[in-house]
Structure 1
Amino acid sequence: MTEENGHPAARRGRPRSTGDAERRQAILRAAHEAFVELGFAGTTTAIVAARAKVSKRTIYESFADKTAMFAAVIREHQHLILDLPRPPDENLPLLDTMIRLFRLDIDEDAERSREAILNLMTKESVLFPELSDYLYETEAIRSREALIEWLQEEASRGRIVVEDPAVYAGMLMDIVFGALLPRRRLQRAPDRALRREHIKKRLEIFLRGIHAGGAAPRP
């Protein structure tokens, strides 16, 4: 295309970097859907490419292999598992902070999405231990480490006494995710609401046990 003066017309449209970012997000959405539906073994780059409406070559421009793509999907959904880091000036009671930190205040759709990603991580890590190793080595999963850092920050602010952050972080992970990963999936909204309330009560007991502030039971 040329302008009236004979010079080449400037190419219009969005910058290439924007297009690349949008394609990457489309690939991640398609990969997430495929991994949840078909599992790691059943998902191929061809399936993801077809769902994302891109070529396999485009996928390999963003991800070295299927394992790297899986790790990127997990990393993309970490916000559904832990809302960390917290705002530096946050001054809520500790229980309220933990409710937000562990995403116990999300809506029904987000809760279902969290359950799907937690089940995916758990199932595939058992089936493919090397995949689990890769997720931790690349820090696609670092929930425990992030929780340790938060406990240390709260201790430095004088809001909590932490004798061993690693032990406390492990206890909190068991309290919350032990309940969020039941053997039987909860289909009814009232059952999910009751589970959230039980987790909150467990957190109250934890805070009372370590004599932390902000753990008074709610009316």
Structure 2
Amino acid sequence: MNQQVTSPPATAPAKPAGPGRPKDPGKRAAILDAAKRMFVSHGFERVSMDQIAAEAGVSKLTVYSHFGDKDRLFAEAVRAHCEQGMPTSLFVGEPGAPLRERLTVIGSAFFSMIMTPEAIAGHRVLCSPQVATSAMPAMFWEAGPQRVQQAFAELLQRRVASGDLEIDDCARAASQFFTLLKGEPHAQAVFGYCCSGKADSPAQHVASVVDLFLRAYATRG
């Protein structure tokens, strides 16, 4: 009697290895918050990744997994600070909104952001000799000021197209606007100098910058 040979059941093809475990956004936010607090309190050089991990309540391996190194963590803390103070939605203005009003809203948000203790401390970190000669200034610029200026330059370009402004170089005009907003008040804050004389309020300072900007670039007539 012939025996029927049965083949073993075919095994399913192995699935390709999937990506690594998705990173926890809650831990990322906790690390950024801890980094911002410690950089402000102790300065960049005196803070270690171990200390940031302990402050955030995570392992050092988790910190490195999310950010790679301390320089990149600092840059991401800057990005988070800028995105919180000046979200992208701030530059998506309604076409019919009055130009002066739109510039005032943006100027007020920018001035409030750069005058926070976190921003002042970050500026001082970047001016330190150890950091000034590293790659961090470029990382900081791309993470913060460059993003803000590009978004504002695009807004200005839309206003040029609608006939509200006459600007040949919107990128340059954007840089001028934010440089004027920083002005003397930001320099005094960085130096830790409190002017004893009469100083404009933040609202007055922003209004004067907006007025000067419009006198330079608003469409005549």
Residue 206 of structure 2 aligns with an amino acid whose one-letter code is I
- Paired residue secondary structure (1:42): coil
Please give the alpha-carbon distance, in whole angstroms, between the structure 1 residues aligned to 2:107 and 2:118: 15
TM-score, structure 1 as length reference: 0.73
The whole-number CA distance in structure 2 between the counterparts of 1:90 and 1:212 is: 16
Partner of 2:120: 119
The residue number in structure 1 matching 2:5 is: none
Q: How far apart are residue 99 of structure 1 and its match? A: 1.7
Aligned residue pair count: 190
Structure 2: gaps spanning 5 or more residues = 1-20
The 3 A distance-change label for structure 1 pair 154 and 112 is: closer
Q: TM-score, normalised by structure 2?
A: 0.73
Verify: 1:58 aligned to 2:62, yes or no: yes
What is the CA deviation profile of residues 36-95 of structure 1, one whole-angstrom value per residue up to 9, with x for unaligned ones?
A: 111111111111111111111111111100011111100001135545452353422212
Partner letter of residue 213 of structure 2?
F
- Whether the 8 Å CA contact 1:115–1:181 is kept in 2: the answer is no
SS of residue matched to 1:40: coil
Structure 2 residue 79 is matched with structure 1 residue 75:
yes
Q: Which amino acid is 2:216 matched to?
A: G
- Aligned equivalents of 2:115 and 2:125: distance in 1? 15
Q: Give the corresponding residue for 1:209.
A: 216
Which residue of 34, 39, 42 maps to 1:38? Answer: 42
Q: Show CA shifts across 1:4-55 (max 9, x none).
A: xxxxxxxxxxxx85x8111111111101100111111111111111111111
Equivalents in 2 of 1:161, 1:58: separation in Å? 50
Q: Quick check: 2:177–2:209 contact (8 Å CA) kept in 1?
A: no
Q: Is the 8 A contact 2:164 2:218 kept in 1?
A: no
Q: Partner residue of 2:52?
A: 48
1:133 to 134, 138, 145: 138
Is this contact kept in 1: 2:39–2:122, CA < 8 A?
A: no
The residue aligned with 2:164 is 159
Cα distance in 2 between the residues matched to 1:174 and 1:49 = 36
Asked if the contact 1:27–1:49 (Cα under 8 Å) also holds between the matched residues in 2, the reply is yes
Identical pairs, percent = 23
Structure number with larger C-alpha Rg: 2
Residue 24 (structure 1) aligned with residue 25 (structure 2): no
1-side partners of 2:24 and 2:200: how far apart?
A: 40
One-letter amino acid matched to 1:95: R
Which residue identity lines up with residue 186 of structure 2 in the other structure? L
Write the letter of the residue equivalent to 1:56: K
Given that residues 28 and 66 in structure 2 are in contact (C-alpha distance below 8 angstroms), is that contact kept between their aligned partners in structure 1?
yes
- The alignment's C-alpha RMSD in Å is 3.0
Give 2:122's aligned amino acid.
M
Native 8 Å contact 2:85 2:109 kept in 1: no
Separation of aligned partners in 2, 1:25 and 1:201: 37
Secondary structure at the aligned position of 2:92 is classed as coil
* Higher mean displacement: 35-44 or 118-127: 118-127
Aligned-partner residue type, residue 164 of structure 1: D
Kindly tell me: are residues 43 and 141 of structure 1, through their superposed partners in 2, closer, same or farther at Cα, counting changes over 3 Å? farther
